[in-house]
A = this chain, B = another copy of it.
């Protein structure tokens, strides 16, 4: 792996820790030599990507990403555009609605709207969504080129619950259904007792950039309700896509996209 990759992986690891971490800790978590980790941290600090607390000597994410994020959001205001739709969907569905974005080969949760209910699904911003075990992952993959689907299904597929589907053939069938329907459904794939449905937000070229998903307790849903949620998620995803990219629409139909890619 390149040096840059290792340094960025360190940054990612640091960001996923619950709190500030010391040098030895960081080196261990990243499987790097202490000297290497230190040089990376010093270099990242020079550019403001990490900060070292002068008292505790522990490291934390710096402020450079905040500046970059502002620029990114100013030019490419995905959150700003999407959040109103997510809020509306949370209100109408009275279930947890979350938005994910594809970046760095992973699908990450970037926003969550909780419904005002005592019993609801809790999802954290920043959490990663496995492609094979979440509605978002499936919805994302279903509209990707075949090569990327195969690549994703070739990796080891972790079994999170008794219901997690890990058979690539079966997953392919589910992807076909998702593509045909326009939204995915995953029954307890990541967490027991939770059923989810999701639809992709796509760029004008048809490529998915993220997903809108609704997660509900299995105990208070039925097939009809889930299909209704899926339809609503797909509508929200399309609305976000349209607002985000202007009135350009994804080229071609879903079926055509899957064939030509």
Q: Which of A's residues lie within 8 Å of B, judged by CB?
A: 2-5, 7-9, 11-12, 15, 19, 39-40, 43-49, 51, 54-55, 60-73, 75-76, 78-79, 101, 103-106, 108, 110, 125-126, 203-205, 207
Contacts and interface: CB of A to CB of B under 8 A. Distances in A.
Contact of A65 (B40, B69, B205): B69
A226 to B, nearest CB: 29
B72 A62 contact: yes
Given A7-B4, A44-B8, A104-B46, A72 B63 contact: yes
Contact of A79 (B62, B66, B108, B204): B66
A73 B47 CA distance: 18
B71 A66 contact: no
Given A64-B104, A203-B54, A43 B4 contact: yes
Contacts of A4: 3-4, 7, 40, 43-44
Given A62-B72, A65-B69, A78-B63, A48 B3 contact: no
Contact of A73 (B9, B66, B104): B66
The 3 A-B residue pairs whose C-beta atoms are closest, nearest first, are A48-B103, A48-B104, A69-B69
A8 B47 contact: yes
A50 to B, nearest CB: 10
Contacts of A79: 66
30 contacts: A2-B3, A3-B4, A4-B4, A4-B44, A7-B7, A8-B43, A8-B64, A11-B68, A15-B67, A15-B68, A15-B71, A45-B104, A48-B106, A49-B104, A54-B205, A60-B72, A60-B76, A61-B72, A64-B103, A65-B65, A65-B68, A65-B72, A66-B72, A66-B73, A66-B110, A67-B108, A68-B69, A70-B110, A70-B125, A70-B126
Specify which of A46, A67, A76, A207 lies most central, judged by the most chain B CB atoms within 10 Å of its CB.
A67
Given A9-B47, A64-B104, 11 more contacts: A4-B4, A4-B40, A4-B44, A5-B46, A7-B7, A15-B67, A46-B104, A48-B106, A51-B103, A54-B203, A66-B72
Contact of A2 (B8, B43, B70, B73): B43
A105 B79 CA distance: 30
Contacts of A60: 72, 75-76
A63 B15 contact: no
A61 B66 contact: no
